[in-house]
Chain A
Amino acid sequence: NAGVTQTPKFQVLKTGQSMTLQCAQDMNHEYMSWYRQDPGMGLRLIHYSVGAGITDQGEVPNGYNVSRSTTEDFPLRLLSAAPSQTSVYFCASSYSGSPSTDTQYFGPGTRLTVL
């Protein structure tokens, strides 16, 4: 049981490049989400999904795209990278999505630098 896995661990991009951050979970969780962590700002929700084929925007969705074609995978796409997207990105999953009742499991993170 690997839990929540994220690849790559580190990535450097140039402004305007695109890339996909991968997230996978093997716990059969319906709910998955992406957060970004910036110094002095805590974590902020980018996008989330309550099941395959269903996605919705979080707090800071601009510049990011997601899709959920399978229960296991929830990739995050940067369409045209900008320096403001330099951050650490965390993927999380849980059974139902309600933090009150279900533990959210976080991946180890992807550190992205946009030059």
Chain B
Amino acid sequence: GNSVTQMEGPVTLSEEAFLTINCTYTATGYPSLFWYVQYPGEGLQLLLKATKADDKGSNKGFEATYRKETTSFHLEKGSVQVSDSAVYFCALSDRGGSNYKLTFGKGTLLTVNP
């Protein structure tokens, strides 16, 4: 079955530091890949997505590239801010058939200090 593995947290950075959160996946076929963000006390929000190999998703300064050869979708940001403190989830969904289900990683807590 499908699965998502993302780096264990928590991750603590200083403001303006570079961020990488690793994510690898196992799936049959060619899934779509997502990063969701959960700010304290809120539900999940879609941060970015990529639906085919070599696509780059980007939003709010965050980027992730769909790497089929390494089955990875690592999240990066060049300069984090305190407001980026949140839990980040990598996820995938199948692209064919009844593809309603999102398979999530365990989440990575990011704390950014001023």
Contact = CB atoms under 8 A, between A and B. Distances in A.
Contacts of B89: 42-43
A92 B91 CA distance: 15
A45 interface: yes
Contact of A99 (B4, B41, B93): B93
Most chain-B Cβ atoms within 10 A of its Cβ — which of A33, A103, A106? Answer: A106
Interface stretch (B10-18, B63-71, B74-82, B95-103): B95-103
A107 B93 CA distance: 20
Most chain-A Cβ atoms within 10 A of its Cβ — which of B43, B49, B106, B107? Answer: B43
B104 interface: yes
B45 interface: yes
B104 A108 contact: no
A71 interface: no
A81 B63 CA distance: 41
Contacts, number: 57
Contact of B99 (A4, A90, A98, A108): A98
Given A33-B100, A42-B106, A99-B102, 11 more contacts: A40-B106, A42-B105, A42-B107, A43-B89, A48-B100, A92-B43, A99-B49, A99-B93, A100-B95, A104-B46, A106-B45
Interface of B: 4, 32, 34, 41-46, 49, 51, 89, 91, 93, 95, 99-102, 104-107
Going nearest first, the 7 A-B pairs with the smallest beta carbon separation are: A106-B43, A42-B104, A100-B32, A99-B93, A106-B44, A97-B100, A43-B104
Interface of A: 4, 31, 33, 40-45, 48, 50, 58-59, 90, 92, 97-100, 103-104, 106-109
5 contacts: A31-B100, A45-B101, A92-B43, A99-B32, A99-B100
